[in-house]
A = this chain, B = another copy of it.
Amino acid sequence: MSEDKYVCGIDFGTLSARAVIVRVSDGEEMGSGVKEYTHAVMDRTLTAGDNQVLPPDFALQYPEDYIECLKIAIPEAIRQSGVKPEDIIGVGTDFTSASVMPTDDKGWPLCMRAEYKNRPHAYVKLWKHHGGQEQADRIVALATERKEPWLKRYGDTLSSEFAIPKLLETLDKDPEIYHEMTHFVDAVDWIVWQLTGNYIRSAGATGYKAMFQDGKFPPKDYFAALNPAFENVVEEKLTAPVGQLGDKAGEITAEAAAWTGLKEGTPVSVGNIDAHVTAPACQAVENGQMTAILGTSSVFVVSGPELREVPGMFGVVDGGLVKGAWGFEGGQSAVGDIFAWFTQNCVPPAYHDEAAGRGISIHELLTEKAAQQEIGEHGLVAIDWHNGNRSILVDANLSGVIVGQTLTTTPEDQYRALMEATAFGFREIIDAFHENDVEITEVVAAGGLLKNKFLMQMYADVIRKPLSLAVSAYAGALGSAIHGAVAAGAYPDVPTAAAAMGKKIPNAYLPNEEASAEYDKLYAEYNTLHDYFGRHENEVMYRLKDIKRAAMSRRHGH
**In this assembly, does A358 line the interface, its C-beta being within 8 Å of a C-beta of chain B?**
no
Interface positions, chain A 376-405, Cβ under 8 Å from B, are: 376-381, 386-387, 399-405
How far does the alpha carbon of A43 sit from the alpha carbon of B168 in the complex, in Å? 66
State the CA gap A229–B535 with chains docked (Å).
54
A404 CA / B539 CA spacing, docked (Å): 11
A46 interface hit (Cβ, 8 Å): no
Interface residue A551 (Cβ < 8 Å from any Cβ of B): yes
A238 on the interface (CB 8 Å rule)? no
A144 contacts the other chain (CB 8 A): no
Given known A-B contacts A529-B540, A544-B404, A374 and B554 have beta carbons under 8 A apart: yes
- Supposing A348-B344, A406-B400 touch, asked if A525 and B544 sit within 8 A by C-beta, the answer is yes
Contacts of A436 in B (CB 8 A): none
Identity of the chain B residue whose Cβ is nearest the Cβ of A533 in the assembled complex:
B403
Residues of B near A521 (CB, < 8 A) are 543, 547
With A and B bound together, what is the CA distance between A89 and B546 in angstroms? 63
- The reply to whether A338 and B545 form a contact with Cβ atoms under 8 Å apart is no
Kindly report which residue of chain B lies nearest to residue A543, judged by CB atoms.
Answer: B525
Nearest residue (CB) in B for A349 is B349
Residues in A401-421 with C-beta less than 8 Å from chain B: 401-407, 409-411, 414
Task: Give CA–CA (A375, B544) in the complex, Å.
Answer: 11
CA distance A314 to B547 in the complex (A): 34
Of B386, B409, B525, B529, which is within 8 A of A405 by CB? B386
Which residues of chain A from 500 to 558 have any CB-CB distance to chain B below 8 Å in the complex? 518, 521-522, 525, 528-529, 532-533, 538, 540-541, 543-545, 547-548, 550-552, 554-555
- Closest-by-CB residue of B relative to A524 is B543
Decide yes or no whether A52 CB sits under 8 A from chain B.
Answer: no
> Would you call A403 and B547 a contact (CB within 8 A)?
no
Is there an interface contact between B376 and A548, defined as CB atoms closer than 8 Å?
A: yes
Given contacts A348-B345, A538-B532, A551-B376, contact A407 B381 (CB under 8 A): no
Q: Are B547 and A407 in contact (CB-based, < 8 A)?
A: no
* CB-CB nearest in chain B for A400: B405
- Does A352 sit at the interface, judged by CB under 8 A? yes
Residues A387 and B411 in contact, CB atoms below 8 Å apart: no
Q: Is the CB of A551 within 8 A of B405?
A: no
Report which of B347, B406, B544, B551 forms a contact with A374, defined as CB distance below 8 A.
Answer: B551
Q: Are B406 and A386 in contact (CB under 8 A)?
A: yes
Cβ-closest chain B residue relative to A379: B548
CA–CA, A543 and B381, complex, Å: 11
Q: Does A368 make an interface contact (CB < 8 A)?
A: no
Whether A551 touches B341, Cβ cut-off 8 Å, given contacts A386-B407, A405-B401, is: no
Q: Which residues of B contact A141 (CB under 8 A)?
A: none
How many whole Å from A439's CB to the nearest CB in chain B? Answer: 32
Residues of B within 8 A of A373 (CB): 551, 555
> Known contacts A349-B349, A551-B376, A555-B377: does B407 contact A387 (CB below 8 Å)?
yes
Task: Answer yes or no: A337 CB below 8 A from chain B CBs.
Answer: yes
Complex contact B346–A349 (CB within 8 A): no
Q: Shortest Cβ distance from A552 into chain B, in angstroms?
A: 6
Q: Out of B348, B349, B407, B543, which one reaches A338, CB within 8 Å?
A: B407
Report yes or no: B410 in contact with A399, Cβ–Cβ below 8 A: no
Among A375, A386, A518, A540, max chain B CB count under 10 A is at: A540
Asked whether any CB of chain B lies closer than 8 Å to the CB of A334, the reply is yes
One of B345, B379, B386, B414 near A399 (C-beta < 8 A) = B379
- Cβ–Cβ contact B379 & A545, under 8 A: yes
A545, closest chain B residue (CB) = B379
Q: Is the CB of A377 within 8 A of B551?
A: yes
Q: How far is the CB of A290 from chain B (nearest CB, A)?
A: 26
Q: Which residues of B contact A344 (CB under 8 A)?
A: 348
Alpha-carbon separation in the docked complex, A171 to B275 (Å): 67
Q: Are A409 and B552 in contact (CB under 8 A)?
A: no
Residue in A373, A407, A410, A414 with the greatest tally of chain B CB atoms within 10 Å:
A407
User: Is there contact, CB below 8 Å, between B522 and A528?
Assistant: no
Q: State the Cβ distance, A233 to closest chain B Cβ, in Å.
A: 33
A544–B409 alpha-carbon span in the complex (Å): 13
Chain B residue, CB-CB nearest to A340: B407
How far is the CB of A279 from the nearest CB of chain B, in Å?
28
In the complex formed, the residue of B with least CB distance to A540 is B525
Which A residues contact B (CB, under 8 angstroms)? 334, 337-338, 341, 344-349, 352, 373-381, 386-387, 399-407, 409-411, 414, 518, 521-522, 525, 528-529, 532-533, 538, 540-541, 543-545, 547-548, 550-552, 554-555
Given contacts A376-B551, A379-B544, A386-B409, 12 further A-B contacts (CB under 8 A): A337-B407, A341-B409, A378-B548, A386-B407, A400-B404, A401-B404, A401-B405, A403-B541, A404-B540, A518-B547, A525-B543, A532-B538
**Can you list 13 A-B pairs, Cβ within 8 angstroms, ordered by A?**
A341-B407, A344-B348, A345-B411, A347-B348, A374-B554, A376-B547, A379-B399, A386-B407, A386-B409, A400-B405, A401-B402, A518-B551, A528-B540
